[in-house]
Structure 1
Amino acid sequence: MREADETTRQQLRELLRVEPATPSELAVELDLTPHAIVGHLEHVSQSVDGNDADEQFLVAPPTCRDCGFDDYDELLNLPSRCPSCKSESIAEPAFTID
């Protein structure tokens, strides 16, 4: 059980230290929308990468399930369509703190 006084971003950091997760998985865990999670993750990535700690914010990019395209310009995003083949079958990015 999480402490009531932890902020959403603190909770995200703790969850991502345990195992990689997608925005949808984190949204279910924290009762938020995937798009709200992505907004929080932008700040989490800056705070983790900005510290002198031994941690890194890592992103497995979104990937088109049809053609395999994974060269998206912005990794902290939920693309709706593949720019290569125009498919809407996109696997969400996965995030972790290592």
Structure 2
Amino acid sequence: MREADETTRQRLADALRAEPATPSELAVQLDLTPESVLRHAEHVSRSVDSATTDEQFLVAPPACRECGFDGFDDLLNLPSRCPDCKSESVSEPTLTIE
């Protein structure tokens, strides 16, 4: 299939099958915003995690670089600050399909 014929979600899934990536990295690769990548990732996760595939959509949670907190409620989110120490140094989640 030609790249122009693929949907954004197909291109996102293919990129995640190739290697783990953050929303910002995927945004550059797919010419989207990080927020848009996360919205599409929600849909990709539902289709990948369905009973018809042997694949899994995995998310390494965002983490605070100051205190190490990684207990964020919504893993498909770009938190602006740590709820524990209030630091704004929070890493992005890493997405992959295995």
> Shared fold by TM > 0.5?
yes
Residue equivalent to 2:55: 55
Distance 1:17 1:32 in 2: 18
Residue equivalent to 1:4: 4
Residue equivalent to 1:45: 45
Q: Secondary structure at the match of 1:59?
A: strand
- AA at the equivalent of 2:35: H
Question: Number of aligned pairs?
Answer: 97
Percent of aligned positions that are identical: 71
Q: Secondary structure at the match of 1:9?
A: helix
- AA at the equivalent of 1:76: L
- Alignment TM-score, normalising by the size of structure 2: 0.96
Q: Secondary structure at the match of 1:62?
A: coil
Unaligned residue ranges in structure 1 (runs of 5+): none
Q: Does 1:76 align with 2:76?
A: yes
Return structure 1 stretches of 4+ with deviation > 2 angstroms: none
Residue equivalent to 2:16: 16
1:8, CA displacement in angstroms?
0.4
Q: What is the root-mean-square deviation in Å for CA atoms of aligned residues?
A: 0.9
Residue equivalent to 2:90: 90
Question: Per-residue CA shift, 1:52-98, capped at 9, x if unaligned?
Answer: 21100000000000000000001010100100000000100000000
Unaligned residue ranges in structure 2 (runs of 5+): none
Query: More strand per residue: 1 or 2?
Result: 1
Moved more, 58-67 or 48-57: 48-57
Distance 1:18 1:5 in 2: 19
Q: Secondary structure at the match of 1:64?
A: coil
